[in-house]
Structure 1
Amino acid sequence: METAGTAEAAPPPGLRERKKQRTRDALLRAALELFTTVGYERTTVDGIAEAVGVSQRTFFRYFPGKEEAAFAVQDMVEAHFVEALRARPPHEAPLEALRQAVLEGWDTISDAVLSVVPVELYLRMFCTIESTPVLLAAQLRRAAETEEQVARLLAAREGLDADTDPRPRLLVALFGGAMRVTGRQWSAGPDLSLEAIRTLTAAYLDQVGPALTGNWRTTRP
């Protein structure tokens, strides 16, 4: 009969949390690998759990479903961007603050992503989202929610009321559109590196002002 003196002690809270984090990271990596190789629609929760050697129930402890796993790293990247925007100097104009937050985010996000999955896998998942209709629809829905958050953040930063002044939402919609064009051009190109998307992001954002105010015609009518 086991006595109190010989009973196995429960792992300390810190160790327990690290174990949970390792399980979540393993499930996330397995999910992204399957999504990017087998395809999102053909990947099942059972398949993800089996790849890690855990039960389907364990998967649902960490993710409500496949969609949440598919966007987990992107959610982290977007949260990183929002925090970078909050930290921009107050003297910067709104568009410049957005531009610097996203460019500096590309400079620093690799370490944050690497703590969960290889950057190369995150970039492959980006392409999978763009080429999978159900994920692309989910991405647009999620983007609208993020854009509302960012618009309200910009409004507060500039001392505006986002419900009566249209400028924050207009600017964020423009910025979000530019970022989507950048992502699609990058995912269709030959260089799928992090440096390539950062360079393309800078180049496209630099075109926003001229595109809005310039005359595009090469010949006069």
Structure 2
Amino acid sequence: MAAQLTTPATDPAARVVGLRERKKQRTRDALVEAAHRLFLQQGFGHTTVDEIAAAVDVSQRTFFRYFANKDEVALAVMADAEDYFIECLRGRPAGESPLQALRASIVQCWRDLASSRHDGPSGVTAALELMQMIEDTPTLLAAHLRRITEQEQVVAGLLAAREGLDPAVDLRPKVMAAVFGGVLRSAHLAWSAQPEDSGPDGMIELIERHFDQLGPALAGDWRS
């Protein structure tokens, strides 16, 4: 008798692994959501790891399986958004210029995060709400800026690979990645300074306006 083929869909072991991974993801999302809520309610400095764990009905030990410290859980929403941006950039058509690919990727990222498919602790609302808290908390800001620097290196590597360049010799990928990071940070700060919450549409509009000004800012006559 021929051996019966076992597919991932019918393999009991695969189903158990799948269930375990989904449970881990739900626990992580719950911790991020609880931390986000507590940070906004009582401030980052006044919120403890024990409070975050208790809000999800897990132990402190369980918390530390997912996050190294309080800073990391606070930045998880932004980190997830940044990782999704990298995914978008990898998927851009090869015919786009580096600047076109970067601009299209960040706009796609924000629009997708604003859609119903990305509700919850990784959604755009959470990311927008956390921006001001990050700027107002020195330890979070330092950690966030370190991650931005790491992301610039990833972006530079992707741009170099797209264009067939050696980033150790050709500095353009690193320069473009640094300029792109500066444009985004400027747009984020401008959004945070607005008197009213304009939501993800307002953020996308600000990003587009900043990119529209990039060419004239770099090469144009500012006095004209």
Does the pair score TM above 0.5?
yes
The answer to whether the Cα contact below 8 Å between 1:123 and 1:192 also exists between their aligned partners in 2 is: no
1:107 aligns with 2:144: no
Question: How far does residue 116 in structure 1 lie from its aligned partner after superposition?
Answer: 3.5
Question: How far does residue 88 in structure 1 lie from its aligned partner after superposition?
Answer: 1.2
- 1:144-199 CA distance string (max 9 Å, x none): 00000100110011010001111111111111101000000101102240111011
Call closer, same or farther: CA 1:123–1:109 in 2, change over 3 Å.
same
After TM superposition, list the pairs within 5 Å mapping 1:127-138 onto structure 2: 127-138=132-143
Question: How far does residue 41 in structure 1 lie from its aligned partner after superposition?
Answer: 1.8
Where do 5+ consecutive residues of structure 2 fail to align?
Answer: 1-14
The answer to whether the Cα contact below 8 Å between 1:73 and 1:113 also exists between their aligned partners in 2 is: no
2:100 to 79, 96, 117: 96
Instruction: Work out the CA distance in 2 between the residues paired with 1:170 and 1:119.
Output: 28
Question: How far does residue 135 in structure 1 lie from its aligned partner after superposition?
Answer: 0.9
- Counterpart AA for 1:85: L
- Counterpart AA for 1:101: S
Instruction: State the partner residue of 1:149.
Output: 154
1:41 to 40, 45, 50: 45
Instruction: State the partner residue of 2:171.
Output: 166
The answer to whether the Cα contact below 8 Å between 2:77 and 2:126 also exists between their aligned partners in 1 is: no
Instruction: State the partner residue of 1:79.
Output: 83
- Counterpart AA for 1:137: A
Instruction: State the partner residue of 1:201.
Output: 207
Where do 5+ consecutive residues of structure 1 fail to align?
Answer: 1-10
Instruction: Work out the CA distance in 1 between the residues paired with 2:124 and 2:188.
Output: 15
Instruction: Work out the CA distance in 2 between the residues paired with 1:166 and 1:22.
Output: 42
The answer to whether the Cα contact below 8 Å between 1:33 and 1:121 also exists between their aligned partners in 2 is: no
Question: How far does residue 115 in structure 1 lie from its aligned partner after superposition?
Answer: 4.7
Instruction: State the partner residue of 1:140.
Output: 145
- Counterpart AA for 1:37: Q
Question: How far does residue 110 in structure 1 lie from its aligned partner after superposition?
Answer: 2.7
1:214 aligns with 2:220: yes
Question: How far does residue 204 in structure 1 lie from its aligned partner after superposition?
Answer: 0.6
1:24 aligns with 2:33: no
Identity %: 50
Call closer, same or farther: CA 1:105–1:117 in 2, change over 3 Å.
closer
RMSD, matched Cα = 1.9
Q: TM-score, normalised by structure 2?
A: 0.87
Instruction: Work out the CA distance in 1 between the residues paired with 2:16 and 2:175.
Output: 50
Instruction: Work out the CA distance in 2 between the residues paired with 1:17 and 1:98.
Output: 32
Call closer, same or farther: CA 1:156–1:214 in 2, change over 3 Å.
same
Call closer, same or farther: CA 1:165–1:12 in 2, change over 3 Å.
closer
Instruction: Work out the CA distance in 2 between the residues paired with 1:86 and 1:12.
Output: 31
- 1:32-86 CA distance string (max 9 Å, x none): 1112221222211011011122211111121121122111121111111111111
Call closer, same or farther: CA 1:50–1:194 in 2, change over 3 Å.
same
Instruction: State the partner residue of 1:8.
Output: none
| 126-135 or 170-179: bigger deviation | 126-135
Instruction: State the partner residue of 2:189.
Output: 184
> Alignment partner of 1:171: what SS?
helix
Call closer, same or farther: CA 1:16–1:182 in 2, change over 3 Å.
same
Call closer, same or farther: CA 1:89–1:136 in 2, change over 3 Å.
same
Instruction: Work out the CA distance in 1 between the residues paired with 2:105 and 2:170.
Output: 23
Q: TM-score, normalised by structure 1?
A: 0.88
Instruction: Work out the CA distance in 1 between the residues paired with 2:79 and 2:123.
Output: 16
